[in-house]
Structure 1
Amino acid sequence: MLRRWMPPILFLAVGLAAAARRAGEGSPGAAVVLLLLFLPAAALLSPLVFPRSLSAAEALRRSQADGRPIVYWRPGCRYCLRLRTRLGRHAYRMHWVDIWRDPEGAAAVRAATGGDETVPTVVVAGTPHVNPDPRWVRAQLP
């Protein structure tokens, strides 16, 4: 569980340290600016910006029932964040599996990528696609 939160926690800690240093140097305005930059960035790195994750088994069951793609992702992955932000509201029309929370999901990604945990891996109609173009993914939505 903590592993998922390490990137945003570390980013926030660096931001707080930099802001504290600026405040200690007598620049409270610069400290506030640093906090205003680091807080949203830490939020973007967190799991909070992604749709609620399912287990790999539940995502597969739902995908077979409704034909929606499955996205295997992990927090802190800039390519996952890129896919998520470019999909916009369409992201909620897919089933998301956090491979750091679900060992079955991580195993599915390793099987699809030849042993690596390369994400995002999007499974459309049973066929995995590693780091696909977000426009292509959007076109695959039912």
Structure 2
Amino acid sequence: MLRSWWLAGLILLCGVVAGATQDEPWLRAVWFVVFAALAVLWSPLVFPRSVTAEEARARSASDGRPIVYWRPGCRYCLRLRLRLGHSARRAYWVNIWSDPAGAAAVRAVTGGDETVPTVVADGESTVNPEPEWLRRRLTR
């Protein structure tokens, strides 16, 4: 679990250090707030609750919803999540850093590397899809 939070923690620490170098108290607070917002964006909090790869496959088989394999700190995953907005909650999100089976599923699709986001929808696997492609599958 710590592996998922290290980047957010590092960003927050940078905000504390950047704020500590400022002379004005209000400027310290501004730096901290800016870096805290960035830390939240790069944390697992932005993403829907992750499920295991096994659970996602079982649920997807029963209701046809897409599976999105992601990892914290991935700017492409963040872009996909933010562009999908509220409809992102309709997909099953698997954090490959907390689920070895999810990482193995991504390696099987991508030819051995862990490129994310990798989406499996309607029996079709796509690496780093356009948000509109996934949105169409989420609204079915």
Superposition TM-score, scaled by structure 1 size: 0.96
Deviation by residue 1:92-132 (Cα, 9 ceiling, x = unmatched):
10000000000000000001000110000000112210000
- Cα RMSD after superposing both structures: 0.7
- The whole-number CA distance in structure 2 between the counterparts of 1:67 and 1:95 is 10
* 1:1-142 matches, cutoff 5 A: 1-22=1-22, 26-141=23-138, 142=140
Give 4+ residue runs of structure 1 displaced > 4 Å after superposition. Answer: none
- The whole-number CA distance in structure 2 between the counterparts of 1:92 and 1:49 is 11
Q: Aligned to 2:120, what secondary structure does the other structure show?
A: strand
Amino acid at match of 1:44: L
Shift of 1:29: 2.1
Number of aligned residue pairs: 139
- The whole-number CA distance in structure 2 between the counterparts of 1:127 and 1:115 is 18
Q: Among all aligned residue pairs of Structure 1 and Structure 2, give the percentage whose two residues are the same amino acid.
A: 60
- The whole-number CA distance in structure 2 between the counterparts of 1:102 and 1:10 is 23
- The whole-number CA distance in structure 1 between the counterparts of 2:93 and 2:66 is 9
Amino acid at match of 1:9: G
- The whole-number CA distance in structure 1 between the counterparts of 2:15 and 2:123 is 42
Q: Aligned to 1:105, what secondary structure does the other structure show?
A: helix
Extract unaligned runs of 5+ from structure 2: none
Extract unaligned runs of 5+ from structure 1: none
- The whole-number CA distance in structure 1 between the counterparts of 2:115 and 2:123 is 17
